[in-house]
Amino acid sequence: MGWKEAAEPVLTRMPAVRRPEGHVPFKRKLMWTAGILMLYFFLTNISLLGVQSGSQDFFGQFRAILAGSQGSVLQVGIGPIVTASIVLQLLGGANLLGLDTDDPRDQVLYQGLQKLLVGMMVILTGLPMVFAGGFLPAVPQLQLGGLTLEGTQLKLLIFAQVFIGGILILYMDEVVSKWGVGSGIGLFIIAGVSQRLVTGFIQPTDGGFFFNWYQILTGKVEVGSIISGEGLQTLMVGQGNLMALLTTLLIFGIVVYAESVRVEIPLSHARVKGARGRFPVKLIYASVLPMILVRAVQANVQFMGQILNRQLASMPSWLGVYSAQGQPTSGFFYYVAPIYSPQDWMWWTANVSQAWWQVMIRIGIDVTFMVVGGAIFAIFWVETTDMGPEATARQIQNSGMQIPGFRQNVGVIEKVMERYIPQVTVIGGALVGLLAVWANMLGTIGGVGGTSLLLAVSITYKLYEEIAEEQLMEMHPMMREMFGG
């Protein structure tokens, strides 16, 4: 008996959101998407019962990517879903699962396995938050009805809330994927990044872009002499934050432009004379979503460092030395920590206590990890989402299309696709990784981070394309039948 036969009784009974039996009208899809988005914001504002306020965020600078909110029911965000996806990607890439995603039975097993892994990751992520490290410190005592909870009982209550929130976000993602527009993960990332961007622009306190410039223009803030360089630094990377504004606008422009750069392979219908089309191979063929997987690996490494720092009485200095704020200042965990902002690498300022060579090593490791990791995870993403040359050739063949001048054969189409897809996948993944590090080094409005901003812009652009396609099919039902809708 193989593992599939042994696990089938459990995996096939995992709760799932029912798929729509027929076509879902576009307006209803928008209603489901908007409803889940409102529920997401509602849950991020529900505080965990029994947790002290002002606790340190376990996800730290990765919060914009992993969504959710510190101290809320959605404490773990999409982190467990992303980590489970990494595990499945690695297992699928090594062909250890033996699942055929074209087989309906194997599809059910794959979805059940994914839910089981997400549940395990919620437990593995939530347990250290509650029982170790003090990331979710409990109040001394909680009165709940006629019960008085304290100690382990209170921690179990907090963990139960974290677990329920992790499972809720999993099924919210599934509702959007089956009944709404786009994906729930993408929707939650856009929501979190957009919220921080808007706050970074309009908050009426120090840190708000417009508020800071109001203080500069009215003379309430001394800029200093531009000739000496002090004033220029204040305007560019200080309170004026012009560098972050330019970086934010450039990222928007570069991603939109990169999405339009493509190689178009001509297609013609084998039976319908004159019916022609094109298969686009975009520069960012694997999309920006593999960057979530790269950052999730880095986030897990940093979480391990934080937990070791809090649990070990004296951590070896070569492994990591942490400041009072819980940030690594030297050692292994410092060098593998991503660059978050200009203050992390400008060694000539008072914000950086490390030597210039230490900062350069950290930058080199971050760039290497993001570029190489972006390329590797882009390849995994393409192969496991049926975007590779073989899967694409089958899709073109099944649609009745062929490449003009070539025989109508899956193998022939696959060879043509192999000229473009693998190379573009690697180049696009590496380019996105390089852009993410560059944006982090220069800073962004609201401190959302380069990876978060890249993800938000790319997902929004794809969501716009999907909405336009849905509207077109709604206006022309015949097109929906052609595309198998």
Percent of the chain exceeding pLDDT 90 equals: 22
For residues 399 and 411, the model is more confident at 411
Gyration radius of the chain's alpha carbons: 25
Quick one: average pLDDT of 67-87?
A: 87
* pLDDT higher than threshold 70 for residue 229: no
* pLDDT higher than threshold 60 for residue 1: no
CB atoms under 10 Å from CB of 32, counted, come to 18
What's the rounded Cα separation, in Å, for the pair 259 and 425?
Answer: 13
What's the rounded Cα separation, in Å, for the pair 256 and 273?
Answer: 35
With CA atoms as reference, report the closest residue to 113 among 185, 222, 14: 14
Locus of tokens 């981070």: 449
Contacts 24+ apart (CB under 8 A), 326-332: 326/56, 328/302, 329/353, 329/354, 330/354, 330/358, 332/305
What's the rounded Cα separation, in Å, for the pair 481 and 447?
Answer: 45
Locus of tokens 């992790």: 166
CATH number of 26-181: 1.10.3370.10
- SS3 per residue for 144-172: ECCEEECCHHHHHHHHHHHHHHHHHHHHH
φ/ψ of 220, rounded to 5, equals: -75, -15
Residue type, 167: I
Residue type, 477: P
What's the rounded Cα separation, in Å, for the pair 129 and 13?
Answer: 30
User: Do 454 and 306 touch, CB atoms closer than 8 A?
Assistant: no
Domain ranges of the chain: 26-181, 208-482
Reported confidence tier of residue 161, pLDDT bands at 50, 70, 90: very high
* pLDDT higher than threshold 90 for residue 336: yes
Residue type, 482: M
Locus of tokens 């062929």: 402
pLDDT at 67: 84
Strands (E), 83-205: 142-144, 147-149
At 343 the three-state DSSP class reads: helix
Token pair of 473 as six digits: 């099919």
* pLDDT higher than threshold 90 for residue 35: yes
What's the rounded Cα separation, in Å, for the pair 395 and 176?
Answer: 25
Topology alike, domains 26-181 and 208-482: yes
CB atoms under 10 Å from CB of 76, counted, come to 26
Mean pLDDT of the chain: 84
φ/ψ of 231, rounded to 5, equals: -70, -40
What's the rounded Cα separation, in Å, for the pair 300 and 51?
Answer: 23
Q: Which of 2-6, 354-358, 426-430 has the lowest mean pLDDT?
A: 2-6
For residues 52 and 101, the model is more confident at 52
One of 1.10.3370.10, 1.10.10.10, 3.40.50.300, 1.10.390.10 is the CATH number of 208-482, namely 1.10.3370.10
Burial class (CB in 10 A: 0-12, 13-18, 19+), 413: buried
Burial class (CB in 10 A: 0-12, 13-18, 19+), 177: middle
End-to-end CA distance of the chain: 38
Alpha-carbon dihedral of residues 385, 389, 391, 393, nearest 10 degrees?
150
* pLDDT higher than threshold 70 for residue 362: yes
For residues 111 and 349, the model is more confident at 111
Reported confidence tier of residue 133, pLDDT bands at 50, 70, 90: low
Q: Which helix (H) or strand (E) holds 22?
A: none
pLDDT at 41: 92
Burial class (CB in 10 A: 0-12, 13-18, 19+), 186: buried
Most confident segment among 91-95, 247-251, 307-311:
247-251
What's the rounded Cα separation, in Å, for the pair 118 and 172?
Answer: 13
47, β-bridge pairs: 72
If you ran DSSP here, which 8-state letter would residue 23 be given? P
- The distance of Cα 287 from the centroid of its chain, to the nearest Å, equals 11
Give pTM, 2 decimals. Answer: 0.81
